[in-house]
Copies of this chain bind each other. A is one copy, B any other.
Amino acid sequence: MISLRLIDQNNWEECINLKLKQEQQGFIASNLYSIAESKFSPQLEIKSIYCEEKLIGFAMYGIDSDDQNYWIYRFMIDERFQGHGYGKNAMKLIIEDIGSRDDCTDVIWLGYQPENEQSRRLYASVGFEEVGMAPWGEMLAKYSF
């Protein structure tokens, strides 16, 4: 059973110890960086991902001030817990969470390195459609409610 939970004084240090596989580490910023970043952007929501009572992942999302749409900026499952479908279930919960909000937008955006095949498959499996390359070198994908 996967759940999204708040990050607080009790679990933030555990969150910064979550790790990606070596070859995935270049794909996204560290959780420590994301947590610090969220301090200065109150619209950025940070969430921990649990499988039962075990912390397995981290996500950051929120409304982008440039286009006023929801973006999922960071999403990771610790290397020890990959390959069990947890990521797909966690993404569904994030979509559900955004969809249930008063400020929900028609679409959710995200971007990933074009060579990040694993993420591409995961995002496609929950309904994201590739839209094209962003000027900053990421593949953009869009989920429509």
Contact = CB atoms under 8 A, between A and B. Distances in A.
Contacts of A9: 40-41
Interface stretch (A28-36, A70-78, A97-105, A116-124): A28-36
A144 interface: no
Interface in A3-39: 7-9, 12, 16, 32-33, 35-39
A39 B36 contact: yes
How many copies are assembled?
2
Measured as residues with beta carbon below 8 angstroms from the partner, the interface class of chain A is 10 to 19
Contact of A35 (B7, B8, B36, B41): B36
Nearest to A34: B36
Given A32-B33, A35-B36, A38-B39, 7 more contacts: A7-B40, A8-B40, A12-B37, A12-B39, A16-B33, A35-B39, A39-B39
16 contacts: A7-B40, A8-B40, A12-B36, A12-B39, A12-B40, A16-B33, A16-B36, A32-B32, A32-B33, A32-B36, A35-B36, A35-B39, A36-B36, A36-B39, A38-B39, A39-B39
